[in-house]
Amino acid sequence: MKQMTLIFVFALSLMYPAHLGLAKEDNTASQKEKRKSLYLKTAAVSNIPWYYLAAIDQYERNIRSAQKELPDPNGLSGILIPDIKWFGLTNPNHKKTDAKLINLMDGFGQDGNGDGKADPDNPEDVLYSMAVYLNNYGPNRDNIKIALWKYYQSGKAVDIITQIAKVYQTFNTIQLSNHDFPIPLKYNFDYDSTWGARRGYGGLRIHEGTDIFADYGTPVKATSYGTIELIGWNRFGGWRVGIRDTQNNYHYFAHLKGYADGIKKGSVVKPGQVIGYVGSSGYGPEGTQGKFPPHLHYGMYRYNGKTDYSFDPYPYLRQWQQQAKQEK
């Protein structure tokens, strides 16, 4: 039985690799340790906190893994800086990596390891260049947010990067890939694949999630490390919580009865932490309850640098349930 479970989990990892991890790069624990060492080294010479550098790097890795037209994020740095920006707008030579010439041409590139070169393929140079850019605005949180807005021209990018940074700062690590099933296994629950089914309330639409039926008041747990991006009432989802993880995934918990103590917008959570309780809220004005049986609506979305798109959470729920059984 245990062998069958392992085969099932492995099969799911092959079928659904891209959304929750970076399947095409070396994302092992040892590689992540090397990445953090580089963040710490760069932070020490730039005064930019390491977790902001790590968050920018992770955000860019996420975007590159989500957009097929971008190269895969290999190596110690996932930050991709366009040549015209790196070498300078008026620089006709995008192969000469002389740091003094690039600086003269007002390029973004900097020499991060003292070899006299500003090489866009060198992770030390790339990360140091980003740190120098941020430091031009100042090393505190508000200054960094302004710098990020100037660089990405996107409020969404700024929000996600600062959320990732907050998670890294809280846990003092970038090795945060664990997940948990949202319902404790000792409680009664039932679910099936319902993503894409028709829904009629508020107009014809598709169901962007999986419904997990359980008794009123059953605890609901966070499935990942992340930051609470959204909380409160929605006429469709009732009392709901939205958590953004470090892979740009947005985990949506809806139809809750209420929230756990201390859960609020901006809270950092970890897998297995109780965030609320199963209910039947929604499909009406604030406080509406009981229009359907109690259940947790669990949805997953991914931000690809342009938009959040929904994908089927059912395979991941099955995988996390099997993992939770093994850990009992």
How does pLDDT run across 40-69, given as a tens digit for each residue?
999 999 999 999 999 999 999 999 999 888
pLDDT for 202 beyond 90: no
Mean of the per-residue pLDDT values for the chain?
Answer: 90
Distance CA 42, CA 301 (A): 32
Read off the pLDDT of each residue in 203-213 and give the average, rounded to a whole number: 75
Q: What is the 3-state secondary structure (H, E, C) of the chain?
A: CHHHHHHHHHHHHHHCCCCCCCCCCCCCHHHHHHHHHHHHHHHHHHCCCHHHHHHHHHHHHHHHHHCCCCCCCCCCCCCCCCHHHHHCCCCCCCCCCEHHHHHHCCCCCCCCCCCCECCCCCHHHHHHHHHHHHHCCCCCHHHHHHHHHHHHCCHHHHHHHHHHHHHHHHHCCCCCCCCCCCCCCCCCEEECCCCCCEECCCCCEECCCEEEEECCCCEEECCCCEEEEEEEEECCCEEEEEEECCCCEEEEEEEEEEECCCCCCCCEECCCCEEEEEECECCCCCCCECCCCCEEEEEEEEECCCCEEEECCHHHHHHHHHHHHHHC
For residue 10, pLDDT over 50 is answered with no
Q: Any idea which residue has 């996390």 for tokens?
A: 320
pLDDT at position 70: 87
- Whether residue 9 has pLDDT greater than 70: no
User: Is the pLDDT assigned to residue 1 strictly greater than 50?
Assistant: no
**Beta strands 210-214 and 189-191: pairing type?**
antiparallel
pLDDT of residue 12: 42
Q: pLDDT band at 205, cuts 50/70/90?
A: low
Closest C-alpha to 97, from 132, 53, 129, 64: 129
In tens, the pLDDT along 136-190 reads 999 999 999 999 999 999 999 999 999 999 999 999 999 999 999 999 999 999 9
Mean pLDDT in residue range 272-277: 98
Tell me the pLDDT tens digit for each residue of 290-310: 999 999 999 999 999 999 988
The CATH class given to the 189-327 domain equals mainly beta
At residue 73 the predicted structure's pLDDT band, cuts being 50, 70 and 90, is: confident
Q: Where are the domains of the chain?
A: 23-171, 189-327
Q: Out of 53-62, 87-96, 121-130, 258-267, which region has the weakest mean confidence (pLDDT)?
A: 87-96
Token pair, residue 70, equals 């971008």
| Averaged pLDDT, 87-103 | 94
Q: Work out the percent of the chain whose per-residue pLDDT is above 90.
A: 79
Q: What's the pLDDT score for residue 20?
A: 61
Instruction: Say which residues have a Cβ less than 8 Å from residue 223's Cβ, sequence separation at least 6.
Output: 179, 180, 181, 182, 243, 251, 271, 298, 320
- Band (84; pLDDT cuts 50, 70, 90): very high
State residue 199's pLDDT score.
Answer: 63
What is the arithmetic mean of pLDDT over 252-264? 97
Residue 325 has pLDDT above 90, yes or no: yes
Q: Residue 208: its pLDDT value, please?
A: 78
pLDDT exceeds 70 at position 200: no
